[in-house]
Chains A and B, each alone.
Chain A
Amino acid sequence: MIEASNTQIWIIIIAMGIGTYVIRFSFLGLIGNRDLPGWLLKMLRFTPVAVLPGVVAPMLIGSTAAHSSDPLRLSAAMVTLVVGLLTRNVLYAIVAGLSVFFGLGALIG
Chain B
Amino acid sequence: MQHPRHRRPFVKGALGSLPFFIVVIPFGVLFGVIATEAGMNLAQIMGFSVLVIAGASQLTALQLLTDHAPTLIVIVTALAVNLRMAMYSASLAPHLGAAPLWKRAFAAYVLFDQPYALSTIEFEKHPDRSTADKLSYFLGAGVPLGITWYIATFFGAVLGEKIPSDIGVDFAVPITFLAVVAPMLKSLAHVAAAMTSVTLVLTLSFMPYGTGLLAAAVVALAVGALVETWTETQGKAR
- A-side residues, CB < 8 A to B, are 1-4, 6, 8-17, 19-21, 23-29, 31-34, 36, 39, 41-64, 66-67, 73, 76-77, 80-85, 87-91, 93-95, 97-98, 101-102, 105
30 contacts between A and B (CB under 8 A): A9-B44, A10-B47, A12-B71, A12-B78, A13-B51, A23-B86, A24-B109, A25-B108, A28-B111, A34-B97, A44-B90, A47-B91, A47-B120, A47-B217, A47-B221, A48-B116, A49-B184, A52-B197, A54-B220, A56-B174, A64-B205, A80-B178, A81-B178, A85-B183, A90-B179, A90-B183, A94-B20, A94-B179, A95-B22, A102-B168
A105 to chain B, nearest CB (A): 7
B167-178: CB near A (< 8 Å → 1, else 0) gives 010111111111
Q: Looking at chain A's contact residues, is the secondary structure mostly helix, strand, loop, or mixed?
A: helix
Report A-chain residues with C-beta under 8 Å of the C-beta of B183.
Answer: 84-85, 87-90, 93
For residue B200, CB closer than 8 A to chain A, the reply is yes
Q: Ordered nearest first, which 8 A-B pairs have the shortest CB separation?
A: A84-B182, A17-B51, A46-B224, A50-B220, A93-B179, A91-B19, A27-B90, A33-B98
